[in-house]
Amino acid sequence: MSQPAAKLPFWVDFGLIPLLNLVAAFAVAGLVVAVIGENPLDVARIIIYGAFGYGEGVGFTLFYATNFIFTGLAVAVAFHAGLFNIGGEGQAYIGGLGVALVALGLDPYLPWWLLAPLAVIGAALFGALWAYIPAVLQAKRGSHIVITTIMFNFIAASLMAYLLVDVLNPGAGSMSPGTRFFNAEAVPPRLSEILAPFGVDLGGSPANLSLIVALLAALGLWLLLWRTRLGYEIRALGHNASAAAYAGVPIARVIVIAMLISGALAGMMALNPVLGDQGRLLLEFPGGAGFVGIAVALMGRSHPLGVILAALLFGMLYQGGSELAFEKPSISRDMLILIQGLVILFSGALENLFRPAVARIFAPRAA
Amino acid sequence: MDWLTFLNVLDSAVRLSTPLLLACLAGLFTERAGVVDIGLEGKMIAGAFAAGAVAVFTGSAWIALLAAIGASVFFGLVHAFACVTQRGNQIVAGVAINFIALGLAAVLGQSWFGQGGKTPAPPNSGRFTAIELPYAAEAAQMGPIGRFYADVVSGHNLLVYFAFLAPFLSWWLLSRTRFGLRLRAVGENPAAVDTAGVSVTRLRYSGQIICGALCGVAGAYLAIGLNAGYLNNMTAGRGYIALAALIFAKWRPVPALFVCLLFGFLDASANRLQGVSLPSVGVVPVQFIQALPYILTVILLAGFIGKAIPPKAGGVPYVKER
């Protein structure tokens, strides 16, 4: 992509321009709200109150944000390598299989604090596995990773539908296709239970220890990308593949490793709903979180800290959006999908829309 | 499977491959012009919703079709603005359009009709209904071939016949007209086209407009041809299968016809084979047949059955040298 030549101050590049893009996205969303005859400010108030106004709302916001931190990091690490992993949804879905197999196999024997680390490994392993084939096809045979990961999303959906309806389903009597419930001792406590003694009330919200895992993953990814040789190679590959190749970066290997990390992160998203909330593996549990990761990574400019902030914003929108659908039935919950799309458009594809104008104001004079 | 059942499956294969074929050709026009478009799904949704809503309001299938084309072309122009004018990432823009169209249709649908995002069934005048071809009834009495004519060839709506004519029209447009040659050139080597004094921008915008129009027809077919009214997310991934078909057809219009028919046939037989035990294979999970187009595409992309080479300048924004 061509960057305009003007070098802008750091805070303009990473603060003001992303903010302008976000404002534009929300302005269009507000316009749609106005068109269907509601007051956008009213809607914003309901969303913010629903997300942060009371304990249970905060808990749900954190719960959704946990999903999006994982999937956002997954997309972000691939972006750093110059790859577009659009398959987070499928990798998360298969990651859920990893979690469920660990839990179903070991829950009679292990307490949650022994089982959870194994579930993390299971999730990461299965997610990485699902990213492995597209990665190898891209690295060795040049098959475009965008298309292969899209295909793998659909293949994952078919595979999981088969497994959950015909193989892992405990049989008649279960209302929705899925596995049996995990043993209650194998399910980690929720944040609401842990924080209750400290006087923090998160109500019945499903936020759980996966949030801590997600934050650790963000920290780990930051260390990896900016403090290790591998991270340097990943970023070099993303900036300029041929320059990286001349500098001796083993391109094919770095592509595969970056995608394995990406798939593992997407797979770990499954911990949050499967082990942390439902206590069983359900059909279609990712519910689009893999795709939200794209918006989150673009908005967070692929930086782990940015991803956390963007994930919080989307967590807020998801929780506040549920509240909104409840209070204003005329506004569909799918408003969220619209906002998500607008954020992707303005923070991603149109990221340079405001840059020339901003550059004219802030460009260093007489360099 | 006897002949009649087979014809039955073929008949639904024709119905199911129609939207794929239209979307696939839509993708072909823009990708041949060097603009990658994974927003086919979103454009089809926009078309389907517009067709469904306008058919209810006006009761006219033709006005609904025009509305579908208009809505879909609008998103085509958004895509072109982002990718050509702003030189943004084409994949990102396509993803954005998929979500925007899906969300917008649900929001407007809920607000206008209050039925959870779907539109009410339009009156019959607001739909494209089946056309009986001449002598179909007589042909049905005249042996297997006649039956084929009566059951498979006849009895579809106008949009189906348009869709099956479209690959040939597209072939003619792309390889026999000046516009088509330029369009393909701009997907291979835009600098050469620019040097010849032809506008790269205008050609790429035209590619997106044709793409939008075809996606609009595909969407209208779903909402007011195949079904009665728009349902939430009724494209159900067809935009992505169309993309797979485009790769399978190696970006050529007439092969696209056969690939889409094959994918439609897989879809139709998946419905039919549910729980049926095949000789020497046993019961094939229906999910496997549903996943088959995707699996085949991955195998093709891996280069194990022929090589799919995309237009050379696809996905790269054109920057004029100064």
DSSP string covering A187-214: SPPBHHHHHGGGT---TT---BTHHHHH
Q: Residues 6 or more apart from B93 whose CB is under 8 A from it? A: A345, A348, A349, A350, B39, B78, B79, B82, B83
pLDDT value of position A364: 65
What confidence score (pLDDT) does residue A366 get? 46
Q: For chain B, say whether A344 makes contact (Cβ under 8 Å).
A: yes
Is B315 inside a domain boundary?
A: no
Which tokens hold the place of A278?
């439902």
Average pLDDT over residues A175-195: 84
Q: DSSP string of B113-173?
A: H-STTPPPPPPGGGS---BPPTTHHHHHTSHHHHHHIIIIISSB-HHHHHHHHHHHHHHHH
pLDDT number for residue B1: 59
Residue A194 structure tokens: 């842990």
CATH architecture of A39-354: Orthogonal Bundle (1.10)
Contact at CB, A144 and B310, closer than 8 angstroms: yes
Q: How far apart are CA A182 and CA A110, in angstroms?
A: 12
pLDDT at residue B322, as a whole number: 61
Mean pLDDT of A249-274: 95
The confidence score (pLDDT) of residue B305 equals 65
> Who wins on pLDDT, B212 or B150?
B212
Across A251-255, A325-329, A359-363, least confident range: A359-363
Report the mean per-residue pLDDT for chain A: 89
Q: Looking at beta carbons, which residues of chain B come within 8 Å of A151?
A: 240, 244, 294-295, 297-298, 301
Binding-face residues of A in 159-188 toward B, CB within 8 A: 159, 161-162, 166
Tens of pLDDT, residue by residue over A215-244, are 999 999 999 999 999 999 999 999 998 999
Confidence band of A335 (pLDDT split at 50, 70, 90) = confident
- Residue found by looking up tokens 């028919």 in the block: B261
**pLDDT at residue A264 is higher than 90:** yes
- Residue A144 DSSP code: -
Contact between B97 and A345 (Cβ < 8 Å): yes
Burial status of residue A167 (CB atoms within 10 A of its CB: 0-12, 13-18, 19 or more)? exposed
Q: Where are the domains of chain A?
A: 39-354
Chain A's closest residue to B239, CA to CA, is: A150
B128: left (phi over 0), alpha (psi -120 to 50) or beta: beta
Residues on chain B touching A154 (C-beta within 8 angstroms): 237, 240, 291, 294
**A231-245, A326-340, B153-167: which range is least confident on average?**
A326-340
The answer to whether the Cβ–Cβ distance between B100 and A342 falls below 8 Å is yes
CA angle in degrees (0–180, nearest 5) for A98-A104-A110: 105
Tens of pLDDT along B292-311? 888 888 888 787 766 677 88
The residue that leads in pLDDT, B5 or B22, is: B22
Q: Lowest mean pLDDT: which of A7-21, A199-213, B207-221?
A: A7-21
Q: Is residue B274 part of a domain?
A: yes
B89 or B271: which leads in pLDDT: B89
Q: Which domain does B185 fall in, by range? A: 3-128+137-301
pLDDT at B14 exceeding the cut of 90:
yes
**Which amino acid type is present at position B193?**
V
Domain count of the fold of chain B:
1
- Chain A residues 68-127 with a CB less than 8 Å from chain B: 84, 86
Asked if residue A92 lies in contact with residue A131, where contact means CB atoms within 8 angstroms, the answer is: no
Contacts of residue A340 in chain B, CB cutoff 8 Å? 99, 103
CA distance to partner chain A, nearest, from residue B319 (Å): 8
CATH number for position B183: 1.10.3470
Distance CA B106, CA B291 (A): 27
On whether any CB of chain B is under 8 Å from the CB of A317, the answer is: no
Identify the weakest region by mean pLDDT among A6-20, A48-62, A77-91.
Answer: A6-20
pLDDT confidence tier of residue A3, bands split at 50, 70 and 90: very low
> Which residues make Cβ contacts (< 8 Å) with residue B286, sequence separation at least 6?
B270, B273, B274, B275
Q: What is the ipTM of this complex?
A: 0.90
In-domain check, residue B171: yes
- Note the pLDDT of residue B210: 97
| Beta bridge pairs of residue A75 | none
Count of positions (residues) in chain B? 322
Query: Burial code of A170-182, b = ≥16 C-beta within 10 A, e = fewer?
Result: eeeeeeebbbbbb
Contacts of B306 (CB under 8 A, 6+ apart): B250, B300
Q: How many residues does chain A have?
A: 367
| Cross-chain residue pair B232–A334, CB shorter than 8 Å | yes
The pLDDT tens digits of the residues spanning B130-148 come to: 888 888 888 888 888 888 8
Residue B297 contacts A, CB cutoff 8 Å: yes
- Higher-confidence residue of B230 and B309: namely B230
pLDDT at A2 over 80: no
Give yes or no for residue B108 having a pLDDT over 80: yes
Q: What is the mean pLDDT of residues A118-138?
A: 95
A2–B109: do the CB atoms touch at under 8 Å?
no
Closest to A136 in 3D by CA, of A155, A152, A154 = A152
pLDDT in tens, A146-160: 889 999 999 999 999
Which of B51, B230, B100, B115 is closest to A332 using CA atoms? B115
3-state secondary structure of B283: strand
Residue A274 bridge partners (DSSP) = none
CB contact under 8 A, A151 and B100: no
Inform me whether the pLDDT recorded for B174 exceeds 80: yes
Banded pLDDT at A108 (limits 50, 70, 90): confident
Phi, psi of B156, rounded to the nearest 5 degrees? -105, 170
**A158 at the B interface (CB within 8 A)?**
yes
Q: How far is B53 from chain A (nearest CA, A)?
A: 15
Q: Is residue B15 part of a domain?
A: yes
Cβ distance of B111 and A331 shorter than 8 Å: yes
The interaxial angle of helices B3-32 and B40-58, nearest 10 deg, is 110
| Distance (Å, whole) CA A85 – CA A262 | 8
Query: Across-strand partners of A282?
Result: A178
Does A224 contact B at CB distance below 8 Å? no
Q: What is the mean pLDDT of residues A20-46?
A: 91
Structure tokens that stand for A186 in this block: 């194998």
Does any CB of chain A come closer than 8 Å to the CB of residue B47? no
Q: Is residue B99 part of a domain?
A: yes
What is the predicted pLDDT for the residue at B320?
Answer: 79
Q: Which helix (H) or strand (E) holds A102?
A: helix A88-106
For residue A348, the chain B residue with the least C-alpha distance is B92
B317 falls within a domain: no
Give the pLDDT mean for A294-300.
Answer: 90
Q: Tell me the two tokens of residue A255.
A: 């592509």
Lowest average pLDDT, out of B150-164, B186-200, B300-314, goes to: B300-314
Residue B86: which of A335, A342, A352 has the nearest Cβ?
Answer: A352
Whether residue A114 has pLDDT greater than 60? yes
